[in-house]
Amino acid sequence: QVQLVESGGGLVQAGGSLRLSCAASGRTLNNYVMGWFRQAPGKERDFVAAINWSTGNTNYAESVKGRFTMSRDNAKNTVYLQMNSLKPEDTAVYYCTAHQYGRIWNLRPNDYEYWGQGTQVTVSS
């Protein structure tokens, strides 16, 4: 089992920045892909970004490329999502997720095994 706890959400004005954190526990994360998804009210849960824990390779949704950066800290067993140039359409609950032996090209929620409780990000115009 992998436990995931997100933090760092909040309210920010358009153009601002936030950094989300996701602390993982319960397993070493070698062979895991970590991901971020988001879900706005009344919409489906959408892929945002993923990182291969071992290699550091990343993949991003087109809508966030150039604005969001996903990274990991091996010593802290934590992944981050640095979000810059935020837009009102980025408003959503952001979820951290993990999948052992996954791929950074896995874009569907069903591809991932473990989920955090989510953290709200609200971008005002």
Q: Compute the distance between CA of residue 123 and CA of residue 88 in angstroms, rounded to an integer.
A: 5
pLDDT at 88: 97
CA proximity to 103, closest of 38, 42, 59, 69: 59
Q: Compute the distance between CA of residue 14 and CA of residue 104 in angstroms, rounded to an integer.
A: 28
* Model pLDDT for residues 47-89, shown as the tens digit of each residue: 999 999 999 999 999 999 999 999 999 999 999 999 999 999 9
pLDDT at 28: 86
* Mean local confidence (pLDDT), 94-116: 94
* Model pLDDT for residues 18-40, shown as the tens digit of each residue: 999 999 998 889 899 999 999 99
